[in-house]
Amino acid sequence: MPDGTELRDAIIAGGNDVNVVLDAIADAASPIDGTQDKEASRRAVRDSLSELLVKYPDADLAALTDVQRLFVIERYAALDVYGRFCLDLQKTVMEKASDAATGLRRLKSIREFVVQQVAAAFRAVRERGLATDTRSIARLTSEALKETLAVFEEYTT
């Protein structure tokens, strides 16, 4: 298992350039392989870290607190679900909208819905005292995607 030395070195080399640092973390978390799924996942990593820095401007990306780490995991899960939704249905949502602005508003609503659904699911897991392991997160995100498809069916059929 990697010890994080390469990532730490990349973060240090990035210095004050947040884009270099975010890219280094995205590379470590989700290496480039050329597939659309992987690119959506990389975008979710990068965007979740960007949102972390908005919410916690003093966050040290190399040493997140437990609260910050949970925020990133939760937001990554939500943005990954949204990214996968977009891979499959963004074009359809845009085509079925009366104009581009309506399509973009719909996509924004879908994104907000997914973020809220995933946050609620994470809260429920925490309230029950259950572990947020890979398996439970995969189940949670699968359920969030199904719920999103059901709620926004009129935009996609």
Considering the entire predicted model, what is its pTM? Answer: 0.75
pLDDT at 129: 83
How many residues are listed for the chain in this entry? 157
pLDDT of residue 63: 83
pLDDT of residue 39 exceeding 50, the answer is yes
**Could you give the count of Cα atoms lying within 13 Å of 29 in the half-sphere of its Cβ?**
22
Is the separation of the CB atoms in 78 and 115 below 8 Å?
A: yes
Q: Is the pLDDT of residue 91 over 70?
A: yes
CA dihedral for 27, 28, 29, 35, sign (positive or negative): positive
pLDDT digits (tens, 9 = 90+) for 104-141: 999 999 999 999 999 998 888 888 887 777 788 888 88
